[in-house]
Amino acid sequence: MEEPINILIVDDDAVDRMAVQRALRSASVDVVVSEAQDYDSAIAALKAASFDCVFADYRLPDKDGLILVQDLRQQEVKTPIVMLTGQGDEQLAVELMKAGATDYLAKSKISPDILARTLRNAIRLHQAEMEANRAKQQQEQLARQREDFVYRLTHDLRTPLVAADRMLHLLQQEAFGPVTAEMVEALSTMMESNRNLLQMVNTILEVYRHDAGYKTLTFASCNLQQLVQDVAQDFIPVAEEKGLSLHLDFSEGTVDGRVVTIQGDCIELQRVLSHIVGNAIKFTQSGSITLRLIGASIVAASNPDTFNAESFVCIEVEDTGVGIAPADQETLFERYRQGDTKRAVSGLGLYLSRRIIEGHNGTIAVQSELGRGTLFTIRLPIQRELR
């Protein structure tokens, strides 16, 4: 190394401090040495100046070397620390290394060559760790910049898409003049494409909020039967337009005749169910889509009006569509996946659904067979009394 190495020797014994200096200089190591005699002076020296390496005696008059290492690492001091002790102790060495010491030497084994090699290895290891940390920080910064770019882009795209959707509705309603049959068909196609794009943009925004930790679920009393009915009502016209039937099955959705009400974010749960039902209609060419609500399966024996921590309610969405290949089912809820059937244009809808359901301490699963339909099951815990 061309530049002198700045080291700090921490030892209450002046003879031992001199021995370390002589050993390094005997090995022709160009060093600039600072000294400290105890824990407090070592901390003060490290706060006042920057060092390439610290050689510290384990037995200090005020605190031992293990506490010194722990405190320095807790204070984010990354300087390499080589701990010196009067005798070899493997258990102590393990504890020191776990605490963040770079190396460990028994004073009886110190020689110019060993000390010089230990010093250079400690510095190389430290430099490698710093390079790795810098690379990691750069990658994290780039990732944040990409996410921020996507967020800003999608946020800015949403405004003109909403405006275009309103304008298309006005045209369809003949607000600007008569509309021919050919124009109605063209407008319907444009409106559907615009809605799909707006939904994709909204999904990307929601995924960003969840992944960045900006999304907060708002829990309140949520009537699942009403939620399922509302979603079904929204999609009945869409299903009928494709010649599909949409069924509701609440035969198992109550306990003792009472509707199950959970604590959840109704808007987010509706988002999940709407996405799954929309996909079911999209990938079903003939047949039907069935929405089921299945009440809790486990009731606390001590109080039949209250569910215990293991109780849950299930929402099922079953279709007679094209199905999903087994290989695609394994990655269906991962981010940016699509699969052979292109079930989601952005590959984010089911990923977002999983994030929302997991935010409710629930699970979402799929069962499917190619050509024979798909069954999605959402399982949500019940933590409050039936209402």
Strand partners, 31: 5
> Can you give the pLDDT at residue 2?
65
Span of 2-6, 10-14, 154-158, 223-227 with lowest mean pLDDT: 154-158
Q: Determine whether domain 5-110 maps to CATH 3.40.50.2300.
A: yes
Distance CA 221, CA 103 (A): 58
Domain ranges in the chain are 5-110, 138-211, 220-381
- Among 3.40.50.2300, 2.40.170.20, 3.20.20.70, 3.30.565.10, name the CATH number for the domain at 220-381: 3.30.565.10
Instruction: Classify each residue of 263-282 as buried b or exposed e, where b means 16 or more C-beta atoms within 10 Å of its C-beta.
Output: ebbbebbbbbbbbbbbbbbb
Complete edge-to-edge strand list for the sheet that includes strand 31-36: 31-36, 5-10, 53-57, 81-85, 103-106
- N residues, the chain: 387
Give CA separation, 2 vs 5, 29, 79, 230, in Å. 9, 10, 19, 75
pLDDT (tens digit, 9 = 90+) per residue, 73-93?
999 999 999 999 877 678 888
Distance CA 362, CA 274 (A): 17
Share of the chain above pLDDT 90, in %: 55
Question: Quick check: 104 and 114 in contact, CB under 8 A?
Answer: no
In this prediction the pTM is 0.54
Mean pLDDT (the chain, rounded): 86
231-258 average pLDDT score:
85
pLDDT (tens digit, 9 = 90+) per residue, 330-360?
889 987 665 554 444 456 889 999 999 999 9
Extended strands (E) in the chain: 5-10, 31-36, 53-57, 81-85, 103-106, 220-223, 245-252, 254-255, 258-259, 261-264, 288-294, 312-319, 363-368, 374-381
State the pLDDT confidence band at 299, using cuts at 50, 70 and 90: very low
| pLDDT over threshold 90, residue 36 | yes
Most confidently predicted of 108-122, 134-148, 188-202, 204-218: 108-122
Question: Quick check: 319 and 287 in contact, CB under 8 A?
Answer: yes
| pLDDT over threshold 90, residue 228 | yes
Kindly state the tokens that stand for 65: 């070397």
| pLDDT over threshold 70, residue 104 | yes
> Can you give the pLDDT at residue 291?
96
Cα Dmax for the chain: 102
Sequence-separated (6 or more) residues with CB below 8 Å from residue 38: 10, 12, 60, 61, 62, 63
> Can you give the pLDDT at residue 45?
95
